[in-house]
Amino acid sequence: MKRTFLITGASKGIGLALAHRLAARDHSVIGIARNLTETFPGPLHALDLSDRAANEELAMIVKGSNIHGVINNVGLVRAAPLGDIAVETLEEVMRVSLHPALVAVQAALPAMRSRGWGRVVNISSLTVLGSVERTSYAAAKAALTSFTRSWALELAATGITVNAVSPGPTETDLFRANNPVGSEGEARYLSGVPMRRFGRPDELAAAIEFLLSDDAAFITGQTLHVDGGASIGKSSL
């Protein structure tokens, strides 16, 4: 069955990879991103979701699109050590990660309820398990995981499932810009991944796609770690 999915943070990385996977299966995809790209396989709206007016526009887009599922992928990293974190930075990171998620899901809820079918996937992060200089980002992603569990309980009898995917280090342009090949940052991240490699955006997209499918109808309120084993500890080798 052809369905319509909305993806935030859709112009690159995991969001763009997911859009291409869904489009290849004849689903419609609507993207929200700060910057546009010609490679997105559907309508892509340029919105800065840190802005309240943009979130109001997001709600209008969702309400007018008969959405079957929402993927909350947008996020903001403002790395800083404890002692140097401005309250305004924490507020900004929380606002970008959480406000659009709440707005989009609430706007999509009437249509999903009416058909008795819907999917929400929130993109969390391995950082929620503990990460240096990620106080704001990890807090925002932990809150998104909490959204996942609460919403799943509220919607359990409606045919709408709510789950989260927690990526480990993933080969995106942004990751490579901050951690070039051969850098200390690359080595640090690799040392925490038992598989000894980084994830690929399409591998994360595959996990998200499954949770959006009919085959995942009995899975709700869960967080799936897609991280090469990083969430379970280091290997003995």
CATH code of the domain covering residue 76: 3.40.50.720
pLDDT at 236: 61
CA distance 72 to 7: 6
Q: What is the mean pLDDT of residues 69-93?
A: 93
10 DSSP 8-state letter: -
Instruction: State pLDDT tens for residues 95-135.
Output: 999 999 999 999 999 999 999 999 999 999 999 998 888 99
Catalytic residue among 137, 147, 189, 198: 137
Closest C-alpha to 151, from 141, 140, 164: 164
- Strand 160-167 and strand 223-226: pairing? parallel
CA–CA separation, 97 and 115 (whole Å): 28
pLDDT at residue number 132: 86
Domain-located, residue 25: yes
Dump pLDDT digits (tens) for 39-63. Answer: 999 999 999 998 999 999 999 999 9
The rounded distance, in Å, linking the Cα atoms of 198 and 171 is 6
pLDDT, mean over the chain: 94
> Considering the domain boundaries, does residue 183 fall inside one?
no
Q: Is the dihedral of CA 55, 123, 190, 210 positive or negative?
A: negative
Assess whether pLDDT exceeds 70 at residue 235: no
| CA–CA separation, 61 and 43 (whole Å) | 11
User: Given a cut of 60, is residue 237 above it in pLDDT?
Assistant: no
Domain membership flag for residue 229: no
Does residue 128 sit within a domain?
yes
- pLDDT tens digits for 220-234? 999 999 999 999 987
Q: Do 7 and 71 contact (CB within 8 A), yes or no?
A: yes
Instruction: Using the predicted structure, report yes or no on whether residue 209 has a pLDDT greater than 70.
Output: yes
Residue 191 lies in a domain: no
Most confident of the following: 68-77, 129-138, 210-219: 210-219
Q: What is the C-alpha separation between 67 and 61, in angstroms, rounded?
A: 10
pLDDT in the model for residue 160: 98
206: in domain: yes
Q: Which domain holds residue 40?
A: 4-170+201-224
Asked if 195 and 5 count as a contact pair (C-beta separation under 8 A), the reply is no
Residue 231 lies in a domain: no
Residue type, 14: I
How many separate domains does the chain show?
1
What percent of the chain shows pLDDT beyond 90? 86
Is 189 annotated in the active site? no
pLDDT at 136 over 60: yes
Residues 147/122, Cβ–Cβ less than 8 Å: yes
pLDDT digits (tens, 9 = 90+) for 149-192: 999 999 999 999 999 999 999 998 878 877 889 998 889 889 99
